A and B are shown apart, each in its own frame.
Chain A
Amino acid sequence: MTAELITEVGVSTEAPTRGRQVRRRLLADRMAMAGLVVAGVMIVAALAAPLLIHLEGQDPTTYHPELLDSARGGVPRGAFGGAGGAHWLGVEPTTGRDLFARALGGARISFLVAFGTLIVQILLGVSVGLAAGLGGKVADAFLGRLIDLAISFPQLIFAIALLAIVPGTFPRPILLMIVIGLFGWGGVARLIRGQVLSLRTRDYVAAARLSGAGRVRIALREILPGVSAPLVTYAALLLPSNMISEAGLSFLGVGVRPPDSSWGQMLSTATTWFQADPTYVLVPGLLLLLNVLAFTLLADGVRTALDPKAPSLRGGRK
């Protein structure tokens, strides 16, 4: 009872001011705000993809051979890969499928996999990290090793290996979330474990223990709120890295399969067209680049806002 009172008072006097401060710092960070705007537009576009594609009047799977120049090996007719009023970003060489529609489909996959993977990573990482930090000596020794193992394993290589043995009928986006998540939770677990080890000796945790709170209750009610700030920062940094993992696996041909489209997969088919049809390369390439940059800048801004002394990607003014 006493312990609850202490934490509740602590939260109610501190949290709002701190929250406002963080928000103010984040709003003043121009790069982070630029990232937020770009990321926001991308997410809205991905969510509204069916509507936007309907507005354009195309769909991602219809072939348009009439738009291709068969004399030049199936390159789209017209400048910029056939971009114009009918096909906003042009069409794909050899098939004539609409690039705008396929790129939006790629955006959906990118976000779906990145966020889905993040959920897997946080669930696994937080539970292993909490268990290692609070479960006693034996549990920590074992789980600590497990965390080391998860961090030092070459995740993309194992992901390729796993993707090779799973039958093709299993839905690919879900498989990607599981595979990337399964090999990518080590960082979260290490972060949580470290935080827990430093938090569990605090007075308010001792007070909670003395007043009879069980281990699970302490973990969820007393410790977890204390680790939320570094967790948010870390999660924000994981998002762009998950996007790169998905695009990379799809680029290597073991990720998202047709008829679904992914930026990585589009890039891998575009490799041979970089001279004949540069638009085909630039559309997925620049979208991926822009998206990853936006999320990285936003994550870096969140980190500096939450902890102004933390080392920033952009170097700070020393």
Chain B
Amino acid sequence: MTRYLLRRFASTVVLLLVMVALIYVIFYALPSNPAVLVCGKGCGGGQLAAIDHKLGLDQPEYLQFWHFLEGIFVGRDYSSGPDVSHCAAPCLGFSFQNDQPVLSLIGQRLPVSLSLTTGAMVVWLLVGVSAGVLSALRAGRLTDRVVTAASVLAYGAPIFVSGMLLLMLFCGYLHWLDFPVYVPLTENPAAWAKNLLLPWFTLAIAQAAVYTRLTRTGMLETLSEDHIRTFRAYGVRERRIVGRHAMRGTLTPIITLSAYDFGYILVGAMLTETLFGLPGLGQLIVQSSNNVDLPVVAGLTLVAGAAIVVANTAADLLYAVVDRRVVLS
């Protein structure tokens, strides 16, 4: 186990370093003139030279990469004479368009994305697991077939299409909800939840379908196992068998698997935030990409990539701990 942990940890670190290098190459080494991209449209020659100097672009490549790494671990200063911009560790870059370190931009947007994703996760686990259990207990009957058809439909629909359809139904046709506007949780919890209802369901729908399938299959498998038959033979009531014993066998691996969904959540949040105009991280990366604010895109890509790599490692470990049948190799 210790050897496995060490090896897994080492490969995660290598993966992260490769990613940092890749992001550096894409954003700072590949573009022919990063200063133009950093500065945005309409920058003159003098300004460009100043930015080159300020960013350290007049130094050799390997030194630049070293400063990039240094920034992540101990922070760095961008200076051109009197004009010094300090970027504290972990420095993910400096957005000259916003005149702010990328990290503080991320900090401002994070609560929105967290509100969206945690709520959506609750929705899809609740909806997915209960629909899956229902479908398994009624296997082959009408309820099962309706749930299955609905899950195929929900699984196939791209997020921005299902979100748009929800928007048209609840906001355009039924007038139950207004077009979502982000209200911070600390300001008004009720308005926060009401405004996020549509985004939560939009992000959750496809994922709920996946969990419906997983729960249904898992439940049917567990119910056909020997220990369940023994419970039945002893006269344990069906409700108790399903609710306690079968649920445990079904849910443990499924909940553990949800750590792998991290990548999906990030991409889904990006699309959902763009659709509803929520000022989160996803909207930030899309806007920065359209404004060619490269340090922001690079910083966000780095954070997202690192988060996914770490989440996947955590999921692997968690899964191995929960299900001892998984061979550690």
Contacts and interface: CB of A to CB of B under 8 A. Distances in A.
Nearest to B147: A315
21 contacts: A148-B11, A152-B15, A154-B267, A154-B308, A157-B285, A157-B305, A158-B301, A160-B297, A164-B292, A165-B30, A165-B292, A240-B156, A247-B160, A251-B274, A285-B165, A288-B161, A289-B158, A292-B157, A296-B155, A315-B135, A317-B140
A103 interface: no
A267 interface: yes
A242 to B, nearest CB: 12
B289 A254 contact: yes
Contact of A165 (B37, B217, B308): B37
Interface of A: 145, 148-149, 152-154, 156-158, 160-165, 240, 244, 247-248, 251-254, 264, 267-268, 270-271, 274-275, 278, 281-282, 285, 288-289, 292-293, 296-297, 311, 313-315, 317-318
A197 to B, nearest CB: 14
Q: Main SS of the interface on chain A? A: helix
B35 to A, nearest CB: 14
Given A248-B271, A318-B220, A161 B289 contact: yes
B18 A149 contact: yes
Contacts of B157: 289, 292-293
A314 B209 CA distance: 11
Q: Which of B14, B31, B160, B217 has the most chain A CB atoms closer than 10 A to its own CB?
A: B160
Given A165-B31, A252-B286, A281-B164, A289 B297 contact: no
A157 B160 contact: no
Contacts of B161: 267, 285, 288-289
Given A251-B271, A252-B286, A267-B161, 19 more contacts: A154-B263, A157-B285, A161-B297, A162-B26, A164-B294, A165-B27, A165-B30, A165-B294, A248-B271, A268-B274, A270-B164, A271-B275, A274-B172, A278-B168, A296-B152, A297-B152, A315-B135, A315-B213, A317-B140
B55 to A, nearest CB: 16
Given A154-B305, A292-B158, A271 B153 contact: no
B270 A252 contact: yes
B240 to A, nearest CB: 23
Contacts, number: 139
A254 B286 CA distance: 8
B319 to A, nearest CB: 15
B312 interface: yes
Contacts of B228: none
A244 B164 CA distance: 15
B290 interface: yes
B-side interface size class = 35 or more
Which of A264, A271, A288: most chain B CB closer than 10 A? A271
B92 to A, nearest CB: 13
Contacts of B289: 160-161, 163-164, 252, 254
Minimum-distance CB pairs A-B, first 4: A164-B289, A293-B156, A156-B267, A275-B172
Contact of A313 (B139, B155, B165): B155
Nearest to B136: A318
A163 B213 CA distance: 35
Interface in B9-39: 11, 14-15, 18-19, 23, 26-27, 30-31, 37
B266 A154 contact: yes
Contacts of B167: 274
Nearest to A254: B289
A302 B173 CA distance: 39
Contacts of A270: 164
Nearest to B267: A156
A19 B298 CA distance: 49
A292 B167 CA distance: 20
A318 B135 CA distance: 12
Interface in B181-235: 213, 216-217, 220
Contacts of B19: 153
Nearest to B149: A314
B314 interface: no
Contacts of A154: 263, 266-267, 301, 304-305, 308
Q: Which of B14, B23, B275 counts the most A-chain CB atoms under 10 A from its CB?
A: B275
B216 A315 contact: yes
A253 B286 contact: yes
B129 interface: no
Contacts of B31: 165
A149 B27 contact: no
B153 A293 contact: yes
B309 interface: yes
